[in-house]
């Protein structure tokens, strides 16, 4: 499944960040997913729920920002909204469209729990 491999890559990145940084838990992951990226959001969420178990992202909230699809119509010389890649222009019906937005799959933000901050706020040391 395409979505599962995207999630596995994402989790690897999170684990790498966690071992390099000073945090051991991730509270929130914000992704930007374009309408034209071909990623199924239900499949993405399902893959995340399964794959995140037992990792630093186990209790993380997955927030997905959908980016609307946009394409450049050569005939209208305008940016027009499209729902699928290589679709016709809604204004003139010309099939010549170059996607200009909505193809992204991007990690935007990781909200982490800082281990040092927690230790500082805890009572005493053992």
- Give residues in contact with Zn ion (CB under 5 A): 73, 75-76, 89, 91-92, 94
Distance (Å, whole) CA 85 – CA 102: 9
What is the spatial distance between Cα 83 and Cα 99, in angstroms, rounded to a whole number? 10
Q: How far is the CB of 37 from Zn ion (least distance, A)?
A: 23
The CB-of-66 to Zn ion minimum distance in angstroms stands at: 24
Write down the least CB distance from residue 104 to Zn ion, Å.
Answer: 23
29 vs 89, which CB is nearer to Zn ion? 89
Closer CB to Zn ion, 45 or 85, in the complex: 85
Q: Which is nearer to Zn ion, 38 or 95 (CB)?
A: 95
- Distance, in Å, from the CA atom of 99 to the CA atom of 75, rounded to the nearest integer, reads 14
DSSP string, 70-100: EEEETTTTEEEE-SSTTPPPTTT----EEEE
């Amino acid at each position: 499944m395409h979505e599962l491999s995207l999630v596995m890559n994402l989790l690897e990145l999170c684990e790498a960040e966690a071992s390099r940084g000073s945090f051991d838990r991730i509270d929130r992951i914000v992704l930007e997913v374009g309408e034209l990226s071909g990623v199924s959001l239900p499949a993405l969420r399902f893959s995340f729920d399964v794959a995140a178990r037992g990792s630093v992202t186990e209790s993380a909230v997955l927030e997905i920002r959908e980016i609307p699809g946009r394409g450049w119509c050569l005939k209208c010389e305008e940016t027009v909204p499209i729902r699928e890649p290589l679709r016709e222009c809604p204004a003139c019906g010309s099939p010549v469209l170059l996607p200009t937005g909505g193809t992204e799959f991007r990690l935007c933000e990781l909200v982490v729990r800082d281990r040092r901050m927690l230790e500082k706020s805890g009572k005493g040391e053992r």
